[in-house]
């Protein structure tokens, strides 16, 4: 990531206010949402890197970005916001998230669905990607974050 100021990953669909430990919108952990404005740039970059790694993992299992220059120019031409420093697979997610109902041919954007997903409608694929991204974030939380919180709670007794 560049050294530019990190913006919030918030997508305006926060579920942590309803008690979720992982936000169903941006996939950050509850404490990251709550403390975001107190984080320094390196802490914010760390959160963004984790989210990028998880999203790329999901995206690479569904599609191939075969022309990142074409994808970039299509996103720019259609005013779809994306983070240029992130993986083109994150850009492809933005494309599908924003244009799932409008896109007819993903190949025109430099993206090809893997054979097992070629028959899928893009809104269905978008929802599957979002669900899998959430589940990976939740699993990461349960594996790496929750045990630390549990230790802190038990130590505080």
- 146-150, long-range: CB < 8 A, 24+ apart: 146/21
CA atoms within 13 A on the CB side of 32: 24
Average of per-residue pLDDT values in the chain? 90
pLDDT score recorded for residue 13: 80
Residues paired with 65 in a beta bridge: 111
pTM of the model: 0.89
Quickly state the pLDDT bin for 1 (edges 50, 70, 90): very low
Is pLDDT above 90 for 148? no
What is the spatial distance between Cα 21 and Cα 10, in angstroms, rounded to a whole number? Answer: 15
């Amino acid at each position: 990531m560049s050294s530019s100021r990190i913006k919030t990953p918030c997508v305006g669909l926060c579920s942590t206010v309803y008690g979720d430990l992982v936000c169903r919108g941006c996939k950050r952990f509850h404490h990251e949402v709550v403390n975001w404005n107190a984080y320094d740039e390196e802490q914010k970059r760390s959160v963004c890197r984790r989210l990028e790694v998880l999203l790329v993992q999901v995206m690479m299992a569904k599609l191939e970005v075969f022309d990142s220059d074409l994808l970039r120019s299509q996103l720019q031409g259609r005013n779809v916001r994306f983070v240029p420093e992130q993986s083109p697979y994150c850009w492809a997610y933005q494309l599908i998230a924003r244009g799932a109902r409008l896109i007819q041919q993903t190949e025109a954007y430099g993206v090809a669905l893997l054979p097992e997903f070629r028959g899928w409608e893009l809104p269905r694929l978008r929802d599957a990607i979002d669900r899998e991204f959430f589940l990976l974030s939740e699993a990461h939380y349960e594996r790496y974050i929750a045990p630390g919180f549990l230790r802190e709670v038990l130590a505080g007794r």
